[in-house]
């Protein structure tokens, strides 16, 4: 039987038009028109955002030309501004700069096209099956076999060929999908490579290898941190036989992009790409700390539900993230940026793998 690819399918009908939020997700409720106070507040927010964008444009230069120089001169300013949130209109470019993916793309011209067009993957049918489950409420991915789903397929298929040891795992779709909302296919592919192969921080590929070894390691470390920093809650988890694999696996596998509010996930990703996986631990601990007094009172079933459905006020980035930044974790979780020569080594490895 001939194996089908996504190009063998005709695009489905366009979904019915509905109101969407500023990120492109379908709104659950139709709010009435804003009152005068809300309009004034929105104007102030817009003016503040415009000032932030001007600062960021000056910092990164045209097309990112000044970025590395600015990071070397004022690393603390860069860190502070990233923690406050990257302006959405610049997010895609800045993500590529801080992840090292822009360098990978420039050093490997034509590799992505080779992987998409001329190579085949054993994971193609699995990818096609899962695509509709990735951000199903976002307009870009809604049309069956439409442009968004095809782009997602191409990126995931290319990576499954590029690294056949990892291949394709379902959680990777949320990483690729998030990236595609802010950059082109090729840019998204190289950022995925930068993350999984460790262009700047520790490699993430262990999250998706057989047996999910890095997930198991992170969950073990997170469990120890809970017992160390939130001992009362840790003891309650022991009594109710709760372990992090019951609620935190997706935090690490998708870096909070699976079920968290999108505006919060973006703020976490800003910091994650610059500082590394430590922020995932810190956000997880901050959530538990914020809800601590309620969680310690709950029996098993209600506790599991609460750990998978945090209240809306706990998901406010301006409340949760400062709490996360204040949490200290042990040095073994730190992943400081690697020196730039590692990228040159990666180019050699990429060339070998891509054309093997």
CA quadruple 142, 143, 148, 150: dihedral, nearest 10: 130
Backbone φ and ψ for 17, nearest 5 degrees, come out as -65, 135
Instruction: Note the pTM of the prediction, 2 decimals.
Output: 0.87
Residues 73-118: pLDDT tens digits? Answer: 999 999 999 999 999 999 999 999 999 999 999 999 999 999 999 8
Query: Between 332 and 211, where is the model more confident?
Result: 211
Give yes or no for residue 1 having a pLDDT over 80: no
Give yes or no for residue 342 having a pLDDT over 60: no
Cβ neighbors of 158 (< 8 A, separation 6 or more) are 112, 115, 116, 119, 189
Residues 159-202: pLDDT tens digits? Answer: 999 999 999 998 999 999 999 999 999 999 999 999 999 999 99
% the chain with pLDDT above 70: 84
Cβ neighbors of 333 (< 8 A, separation 6 or more) are 221, 277, 278, 281
Domains present along the chain, CATH in parentheses: 58-93 (no CATH), 101-200 (1.10.8.270), 213-326 (1.10.472.80)
Task: Give the pLDDT confidence score for residue 3 in this predicted structure.
Answer: 54
| Cβ atoms of 83 and 94 closer than 8 Å | no
263-295 burial code (b ≥16 CB/10 A, e <16): ebbbbbbbbbbbbbbbbbbbbbbbbbbbbeeeb
The structure tokens listed for 262 are: 């999108």
- Tell me which H or E stretch contains 107: helix 101-107
Query: Between 119 and 150, where is the model more confident?
Result: 150
């Amino acid at each position: 039987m001939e194996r089908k690819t996504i190009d063998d399918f005709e695009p489905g009908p366009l979904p019915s038009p509905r109101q969407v939020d500023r990120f492109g997700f379908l709104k659950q409720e139709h709010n009435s028109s804003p009152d005068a106070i809300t309009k004034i507040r929105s104007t102030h927010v817009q003016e503040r955002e415009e000032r932030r964008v001007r600062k960021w444009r000056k910092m990164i230069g045209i097309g990112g030309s000044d970025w590395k120089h600015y990071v070397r001169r004022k690393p603390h300013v860069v860190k502070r501004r990233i923690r406050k949130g990257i302006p959405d209109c610049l997010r895609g470019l800045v993500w590529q700069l801080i992840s090292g993916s822009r360098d990978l793309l420039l050093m490997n011209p034509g590799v992505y096209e080779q992987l998409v067009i001329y190579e085949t993957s054993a994971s193609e049918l699995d990818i096609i099956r899962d695509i509709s489950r990735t951000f199903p409420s976002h307009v870009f991915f809604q049309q069956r076999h439409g442009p968004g789903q095809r782009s997602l397929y191409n990126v995931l298929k290319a990576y499954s060929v590029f690294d056949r040891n990892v291949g394709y795992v379902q959680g990777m779709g949320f990483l690729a999908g998030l990236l595609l909302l802010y950059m082109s296919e090729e840019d998204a592919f190289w950022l995925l490579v930068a993350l999984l192969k460790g262009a700047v921080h520790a490699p993430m590929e262990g999250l998706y290898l057989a047996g999910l070894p890095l997930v198991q390691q992170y969950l073990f470390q997170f469990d120890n941190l809970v017992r160390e920093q939130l001992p009362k809650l840790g003891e309650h988890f022991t009594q109710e036989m709760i372990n992090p694999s019951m609620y935190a696996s997706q935090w690490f596998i998708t870096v909070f992009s699976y079920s968290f509010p999108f505006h919060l996930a973006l703020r976490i990703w800003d910091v994650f790409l610059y500082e590394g996986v430590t922020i995932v631990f810190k956000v997880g601990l901050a959530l538990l700390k914020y809800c601590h007094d309620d969680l310690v009172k709950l029996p098993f079933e209600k506790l599991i539900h609460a750990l998978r459905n945090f209240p809306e006020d706990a998901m406010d980035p301006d409340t949760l993230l400062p709490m996360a930044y204040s949490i200290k974790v042990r040095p073994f979780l730190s992943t400081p940026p690697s020196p730039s020569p590692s990228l040159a080594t990666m180019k050699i490895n990429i060339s070998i793998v891509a054309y093997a």
